[in-house]
Amino acid sequence: MFRVGVLSIFIIAMSLNVSNILYILSHTFPLPVPTNPDISRKERNLANHIINIIKEAESGEVEVEESEELVDEDYDGDYEVEVFKPHDDFVLPSHRHLAFGDKTVSRDDAQKAIDYYRNTTKGTRPFKSMKSQFRWIAKPAHMDKLRRFEKEKNDFNESRSNLLRVLSNRLFEEVKEKLDEEVASIART
């Protein structure tokens, strides 16, 4: 944001008409004038200050100066640009992978886990057995996702939303990389 003033310097060397000043003030602040007001100390000090300015202007002792400044109020000389960190650092490497927490697993590994999960005489293996065999299974929710993957393999294939998410993440990485290269080249010059 920029702030701009007006430059004009002049000395008041003529006599002032106080009634004109009061006229402008009364039109600027159209308020009823009380007959016997209860005046606070701050109000009295401000009024005395304005009275002194008008008296000094009448005697020609006041010099009115207005200067023009162009100030960038948002500028901070000590500011350093932060290193860009995306909101979500995790990007799937391929649409052929599944995310289990902060780990990615290929569809083949997920199928191996399903085969191991189902290959028992009891029906299915317990969570602890799955967790020890496959380190990427860390929560019961991961087992739920694995079972959902087993039931809905076709939906997990190349659904439009999955492909768009992968495309979006890859585009984000490309743009970030290009911006970093451009910033580095500008910094070198």
What pLDDT digit, counting tens, does each position of 40-66 carry?
999 899 989 888 888 887 777 777 677
User: Does residue 104 sit in the same domain as residue 146?
Assistant: yes
Does 79 reside within a domain? no
Same domain for 15 and 63, yes or no, is yes
- Which of the four pLDDT bands, split at 50, 70 and 90, describes residue 155? low
User: What number is the average pLDDT over the span 108-128?
Assistant: 87
Q: Could you tell me if residue 167 is inside a domain?
A: yes
Q: Is the pLDDT of residue 95 over 80?
A: no
Does the residue 42 lie in any domain? Answer: yes
Euclidean distance between CA atoms 125 and 16, whole angstroms: 99
Question: Total domain count for the chain?
Answer: 2
In this model, does residue 171 exceed pLDDT 80? Answer: yes
Domain around 102: 97-188
In a domain, 82, yes or no: no
DSSP 123: S
Structure tokens at 188: 């070198």
Same domain, 37 and 106: no
CB 107 within 8 A of CB 97: yes
How many whole angstroms separate alpha carbon 123 and alpha carbon 117? Answer: 8
| Dist. CA 115–CA 137, nearest whole Å | 14
Q: Rg of the Cα trace of the chain?
A: 38
